[in-house]
Structure 1
Amino acid sequence: MIRKAKMSDVFEMKELINSYATDGCMLPRSLDSLYTYIRDFAVMEDNGKIVGCCGVHPDWEDLGEVVSFAVAKPYTRQGNGTKLLEACIEDAKTIGLGKLFVLTSSPEFFKKKGFTEIKREELPWKIWADCVNCSKYPDCNSISLIKEI
């Protein structure tokens, strides 16, 4: 089941996201960040346990970012990531976004979903605020992709 995230989901979301951050696959999230941006997130639940999450963070006029996209390893490669991303795309459309971008170390998944690679410099400077706090800055290996929705 996919639904909007609730405050009571934050601890499980943080654990899931930060398990990937520990592997160097994504940025870690603090409890403060998740509580602050809880309305940006959808979660996937299985028998009361959070097994996936994904956020859509509006960044500029009609541009939003897919953030903290994570599916628990036992639930990967079963279409769950696709369902979660589709729910986030629908949420983005609901609030009036026309484009979504993602910074990822796994570009192939997003390319299969219609995202195309772009130069990082084509994105608004506003998005780089998170990058400065990243342990990989300035030697980032993330690929920038975008999709019209």
Structure 2
Amino acid sequence: MIHYTKAKLSDIILMQDVVQPEVEKGIILFRSSDEMATNIRSYILAKEDEKIIGFGALHFHADDLAEIRSLVVKDGFRGRGVGKGIVQTLMVEGEGLGVKKVFTLTYQKAFFESVGFSEIPKEALPTHKIWADCIKCKHFPICDEIALIKTI
């Protein structure tokens, strides 16, 4: 059975193991242990038999705007609703904190559309997003990720 829980500092090394293949492919940005520790409250884990099979983070950009980032499901567990469960858990948490809109930058357009997100122009994203995260990407400045947003 899959359950969703907040991440703990002791989970960081295992989380990095789960995301490493996607980082190597350039699909997800590398996050250092220090950066993950600083943002540990943002992460939701998906676990099965107490093993981390996926995670995602809800990062806040304004008093009513957040971003789903670092969403990953371990190979072999995809197609079982794990990603959808992580997104739903993050959306409920965001709503409880007063978030009105949630965006993402992703290569997985169809997945995010399946959970209610709609494509928007990247230019609609907060400028500080581009300089804080995107500049660290190996694809920058030629970004082929898709921006999507959902109103809660």
Q: Which moved more, 1:14-23 or 1:130-139?
A: 14-23
What residue number does 1:46 align with?
48
2:103 corresponds to which letter in structure 1?
Answer: F
Which portions of structure 1, spanning 4 or more consecutive aligned residues, are displaced by more than 2 angstroms?
Answer: none
Offset at residue 148 of structure 1 (A): 0.2
1:110-125 mapped onto 2 (5 Å cutoff): 110-125=112-127
1:28-107 mapped onto 2 (5 Å cutoff): 28-107=30-109
User: Over the residues paired in the alignment, what is the CA RMSD in angstroms?
Assistant: 0.9
For normalisation by structure 1, the TM-score amounts to 0.96
Instruction: Tell me the distance in 2 between the aligned counterparts of 1:25 and 1:134.
Output: 9
Q: Identify the match of residue 28 of structure 2 among 26, 29, 36.
A: 26
Contact map agreement 1:117 1:146 (CA 8 A) in 2: yes
Instruction: Tell me the distance in 2 between the aligned counterparts of 1:48 and 1:114.
Output: 29
Contact map agreement 2:105 2:147 (CA 8 A) in 1: yes
Q: Identify the match of residue 143 of structure 2 among 99, 123, 140.
A: 140
Instruction: Tell me the distance in 1 between the aligned counterparts of 2:144 and 2:14.
Output: 27
Offset at residue 61 of structure 1 (A): 2.2
Tell me the alpha carbon deviations over residues 65-94 of structure 1, each in whole angstroms, 9 at most, x when there is no partner: 001000111110011111111001111111
Describe the SS at the equivalent of 2:54.
strand
For normalisation by structure 2, the TM-score amounts to 0.95
Contact map agreement 1:14 1:34 (CA 8 A) in 2: no
Which 5+ residue runs of structure 1 have no aligned equivalent? none
Tell me the alpha carbon deviations over residues 74-128 of structure 1, each in whole angstroms, 9 at most, x when there is no partner: 1100111111110011111111111000000111100111100000111111111
Describe the SS at the equivalent of 1:73.
coil
Describe the SS at the equivalent of 1:13.
helix
Which 5+ residue runs of structure 2 have no aligned equivalent? none
Instruction: Tell me the distance in 2 between the aligned counterparts of 1:54 and 1:122.
Output: 22
What residue number does 1:3 align with?
5
Number of equivalenced pairs: 149
% same residue:
34
Instruction: Tell me the distance in 2 between the aligned counterparts of 1:125 and 1:61.
Output: 16
Instruction: Tell me the distance in 2 between the aligned counterparts of 1:81 and 1:11.
Output: 20
